[in-house]
Amino acid sequence: MTTSRYALITGASRGIGRAIALRLAADGYHILLNYQTNRSAAEAVLNDIRTGGGDGTLLPFDVTDPEAVEQAIDTWRQQHPDSYISLLVNNAGIRHDDLLMWMSGDNWHRVLSTTLDGFFHVTRALLQEMLVRKWGRIINIASLSGLSGMPGQTNYSAAKGGLIAATKSLAREVARKHVTVNAIAPGFIRTDMTSDLDETTLKKTIPAGRFGEAEEVAHLVSFLASDHASYITGEVISIDGGLS
């Protein structure tokens, strides 16, 4: 494995992204914390990382803006000419739930763009160096919604389903260069993104009888990022308490 230990996590200022950042920092990675607007939340995550003995750097950009992505990563490269980002976690995503017949075009495009355009822009910016160095990990945070669909989430299901398909395709392209590409499909995880859901009712549908915790997703990311997972690629791993 390369001695470079830089991990970029998109949407890392809260929820699952925050938990992943803290876990990977504990694993020894220098965390590049991406966020778009919530600087105070990102700074709080960075402070928690440093309190735990790790380190990180804030890397703000809009994942849907290709020029912003390239500029941020190129600037980082200029400051770290002897290093590369060996681990990418595509976590950025948004929800704008509605029945399709009432869904606005804007809410359709914004949800798909954040997940799919974000995956494309950031992954493309980092992939060549992973291939040249012959080691890399790309982990995409998908969703149960992308596997089975959810009413009121046609846009979100389409975005996450597309991310799953992209994961499988890219994995076949890069496996010979020791770059793995996997997806994680969380079910109901207790974060601010699911705070508007009726947890009491929904947990009755989950065999495990509860919502998951963001830290449980983060531990799975930690494993997939490790050398122990070097023969796992193109997979979609559900973490949903048996719901799927």
Active site residues: 156
CA distances from 58 to 5, 6, 127, 207 (A): 16, 13, 21, 39
> What single string gives the DSSP state of each residue in 46-71?
HHHHHHTT--EEE----TT-HHHHHH
Cβ-Cβ contacts under 8 Å for 170 (sequence gap 6 or more): 123, 138, 181
Q: Are 241 and 208 within 8 A, CB to CB?
A: yes
User: Which residue bears the tokens 């809410």?
Assistant: 107
Burial class (CB within 10 angstroms; exposed 0-12, middle 13-18, buried 19+) of 40:
exposed
Q: 229 is written with which tokens? A: 């997972």
- The secondary structure element, H or E, covering residue 87 is strand 85-90
Dihedral sign, Cα of residue 87, residue 80, residue 13, residue 155: negative
Burial class of residue 58 in the structure, from the number of CB atoms within 10 Å of its CB (0-12 exposed, 13-18 middle, 19+ buried): middle
Q: Do residues 25 and 47 make contact, with C-beta atoms less than 8 angstroms apart?
A: no
